[in-house]
């Protein structure tokens, strides 16, 4: 057989626990803040118990919670422990302010879509939850068959129940007692069963000759049942609208918070960029100082990088020649020198570091002589020196290497830069091995 398309949804067998708050709309209408505080505390207990039983919450909406378990036994244990724990918390509040969950548990086939689960297995669990009493638990027949000989619970059969949009009737059970002998609220058998018995009784009376009076009362009962069904459907529709409104308000609040955080981040970034621009402007303004150029020229001429640099050695003669080109611009350049030879100075800027190191700039300079670039200056830390060397092509393309070394010559960090040398401007960019950016923009003195 050919392989199935990779785009097909994955299916699996899972135990689904569905829960929501009974009377949530009424509680929110009476006291929103207290209801939300109680609900959040209940939800923390809910989530911790689910995790304890190796479950996974895969969907929430308003006051509804959906969780997945690999075991029906663990799912039912989790449900009973949640109701026991929440009953203890609810005892602290008056009856009319208690936030009670209704829970439904179903074992069925589901479809996996990302982290979400879909299908009749999930829908049946939601319908069972709606059939449970506040503070109670309803389970399907598939779950009952898995746990009846494994857990010390008492059950009450609610018979086969028909649920909205579920094609087949579902065997339904209500858990009446927990393993610690605690009682849970249970739903009585559905009114549909009672109506069927009443209809049968009326039919017997009619067959026995009860007459038109009994028949008219039966018809009245059927009409009232239809009205009650319509009223229940309307209440369910209103509840769905309220839940949608709550979910929409929650989403809007999250979007507003995200917008505020983004605005704060943008403001911080603008502050950093403004500080960097001001620093580069300040360093560029001081680059033409003759005293600092002369002092840095003397340092470049006095010290050559160690042989461990990995680049060509820079001797005192090279530095002296460059310095002579700079401090005595009236002296003719030696044969073979370029019109771009001389001292170049300006800011060197590092970008933000990968470990939270902030961007910074500092002033430096180097000598250009006969296609070579050389320079060095004290590093930021004591005993550390920054060395610079590189080449300038006849077309003005520049390759530069900068390296910090300790006093014993051990290299600490290296950055490679490329750029251009044209019209008295030396511009180059590059990056360290860790990705931190580097940039220099110098002018000829």
| Section 47-76 average pLDDT | 95
Question: For residue 199, what pLDDT is reported?
Answer: 66
Question: For residue 355, what pLDDT is reported?
Answer: 82
Q: Is residue 1 part of a domain?
A: no
Say yes or no: 215 and 344 in one domain. no
Which among 381, 171, 351 is positioned nearest to 272, based on CA atoms?
351
- Ranges of H-type helices in 287-392: 290-302, 316-327
Residue 245: domain span: 190-286
Residue ending a domain, among 127, 154, 189, is 189
Question: For residue 192, what pLDDT is reported?
Answer: 54
Q: Is residue 90 part of a domain?
A: yes
**Tens digits of residue pLDDT in 129-180:** 999 999 999 999 999 999 998 998 999 999 999 999 899 999 999 998 876 6
Between residues 68 and 185, the one the model is more confident about: 68
Q: How far is CA 61 from the centre of its chain?
A: 18
At residue 435, the 3 state secondary structure works out as coil
Look-up of token digits 């059939």: 131
pLDDT band at 194 (very low <50, low <70, confident <90, very high): low
Query: From CA 84, how far away is CA 77, in angstroms rounded?
Result: 11
CATH number, domain containing residue 57: 3.30.70.1230
Q: What is the mean pLDDT of the chain?
A: 83
Question: For residue 197, what pLDDT is reported?
Answer: 53
**The two three-digit tokens of residue 205, written as one number:** 């009376």
pLDDT band at 128 (very low <50, low <70, confident <90, very high): very high
Residue ending a domain, among 189, 211, 226, is 189
Q: Is residue 275 part of a domain?
A: yes
Q: Is the pTM of this model over 0.75?
A: no
Q: Is residue 236 part of a domain?
A: yes
Say yes or no: 300 and 272 in one domain. no
Q: Is residue 78 part of a domain?
A: yes
Look-up of token digits 């560029």: 284
Q: Is residue 260 part of a domain?
A: yes
Question: For residue 319, what pLDDT is reported?
Answer: 39
**Tens digits of residue pLDDT in 26-51:** 999 999 999 999 999 999 999 999 99
Q: Is residue 89 part of a domain?
A: yes
Query: From CA 334, how far away is CA 369, in angstroms rounded?
Result: 10
**Tens digits of residue pLDDT in 327-346:** 334 444 443 346 889 999 99
Phi, psi of 194 (to 5 degrees): -65, -45
Query: From CA 5, how far away is CA 19, in angstroms rounded?
Result: 35
pLDDT band at 380 (very low <50, low <70, confident <90, very high): confident
Say yes or no: 293 and 390 in one domain. yes
Say yes or no: 438 and 328 in one domain. yes
Say yes or no: 89 and 56 in one domain. yes
Query: From CA 125, how far away is CA 309, in angstroms rounded?
Result: 71
| Section 385-393 average pLDDT | 96
Between residues 305 and 252, the one the model is more confident about: 252
Query: From CA 218, how far away is CA 203, in angstroms rounded?
Result: 9
At residue 308, the 3 state secondary structure works out as helix
Burial class (CB in 10 A: 0-12, 13-18, 19+), 119: middle
Query: From CA 362, how far away is CA 301, in angstroms rounded?
Result: 21
Residue ending a domain, among 140, 165, 189, is 189
pLDDT band at 236 (very low <50, low <70, confident <90, very high): very high
Q: Has residue 299 got a pLDDT over 60?
A: no
Question: For residue 183, what pLDDT is reported?
Answer: 67
Say yes or no: 270 and 295 in one domain. no
Q: Has residue 312 got a pLDDT over 50?
A: no
Q: Which H or E run includes 199?
A: helix 191-207
Question: For residue 335, what pLDDT is reported?
Answer: 39
Number of other residues whose CB lies within 10 A of the CB of residue 201? 13
Which among 287, 319, 322, 286 is positioned nearest to 304, based on CA atoms?
319
Between residues 416 and 204, the one the model is more confident about: 416
Q: Has residue 314 got a pLDDT over 80?
A: no
Say yes or no: 181 and 324 in one domain. no
Say yes or no: 360 and 420 in one domain. yes
Say yes or no: 263 and 316 in one domain. no
Q: Is residue 4 part of a domain?
A: no
| Section 171-195 average pLDDT | 69
Question: How many domains is the chain built from?
Answer: 3
Question: For residue 334, what pLDDT is reported?
Answer: 44
Say yes or no: 215 and 169 in one domain. no
**Tens digits of residue pLDDT in 75-126:** 999 999 999 999 999 999 999 999 999 999 999 999 999 999 999 999 999 9
**Tens digits of residue pLDDT in 271-284:** 767 776 676 666 55
Say yes or no: 184 and 270 in one domain. no
Say yes or no: 325 and 250 in one domain. no
pLDDT band at 268 (very low <50, low <70, confident <90, very high): confident
Question: For residue 106, what pLDDT is reported?
Answer: 98
Between residues 238 and 109, the one the model is more confident about: 109
Whole-number percent of the chain with pLDDT over 70? 77
Between residues 308 and 110, the one the model is more confident about: 110
């Amino acid at each position: 057989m050919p392989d199935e398309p990779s785009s097909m949804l994955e299916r699996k067998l899972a135990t689904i626990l569905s829960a929501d708050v009974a009377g949530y709309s009424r509680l929110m209408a009476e006291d929103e803040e207290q209801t939300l505080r109680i609900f959040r505390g209940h939800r923390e207990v809910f989530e911790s118990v689910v995790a304890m039983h190796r479950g996974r919450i895969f969907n929430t909406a308003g006051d509804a919670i959906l969780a997945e378990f690999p075991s029906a036994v663990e799912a039912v244990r989790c449900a009973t422990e949640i109701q026991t724990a929440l009953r203890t918390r609810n005892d602290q509040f008056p009856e009319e302010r208690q936030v009670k969950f209704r829970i439904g548990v179903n074992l069925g086939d589901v479809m996996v879509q990302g982290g979400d689960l879909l299908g009749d297995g999930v829908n049946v669990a939601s319908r069972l939850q709606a059939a449970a009493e506040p503070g109670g638990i309803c389970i399907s027949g598939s779950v009952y068959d898995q746990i009846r000989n494994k857990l010390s619970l008492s059950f009450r059969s609610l018979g086969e129940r028909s649920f909205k949009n579920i094609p087949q009737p579902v065997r339904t059970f209500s858990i009446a007692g927990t393993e610690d002998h605690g009682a849970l609220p249970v739903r009585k058998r559905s009114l549909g069963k009672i109506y069927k018995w009443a209809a049968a009784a009326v039919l017997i009376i009619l067959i026995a000759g009860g007459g038109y009076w009994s028949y008219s009362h039966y018809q009245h009962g059927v009409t009232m049942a239809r009205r009650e069904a319509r009223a229940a459907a309307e209440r369910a529709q209103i509840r769905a609208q309220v839940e949608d409104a709550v979910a929409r308000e929650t989403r809007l609040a999250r979007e507003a918070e995200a917008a505020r955080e983004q605005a704060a981040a943008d403001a911080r970034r603008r502050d950093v960029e403004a500080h960097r621009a001001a620093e580069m402007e300040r360093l560029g303004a001081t680059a033409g100082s003759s005293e600092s150029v002369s002092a840095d020229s003397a340092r470049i001429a006095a010290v050559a990088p160690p042989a461990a640099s990995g680049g060509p050695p820079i001797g005192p003669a090279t530095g002296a020649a460059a310095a002579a080109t700079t401090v005595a611009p009236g002296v003719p350049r030696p044969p073979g020198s370029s019109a771009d030879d001389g001292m170049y100075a300006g800011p060197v800027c590092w970008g933000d570091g990968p470990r939270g190191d902030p961007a910074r700039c500092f002033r430096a300079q180097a000598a250009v002589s006969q296609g070579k670039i050389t320079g060095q200056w004290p590093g930021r830390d004591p005993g550390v020196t920054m060395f610079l060397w590189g080449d300038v092509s006849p077309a003005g393309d520049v390759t530069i290497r900068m390296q910090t070394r300790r006093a014993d010559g051990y290299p600490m960090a290296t950055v490679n830069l490329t750029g251009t040398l044209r019209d008295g401007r030396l511009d180059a960019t590059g990056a360290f091995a860790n990705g931190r950016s580097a940039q220099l923009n110098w002018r000829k003195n």
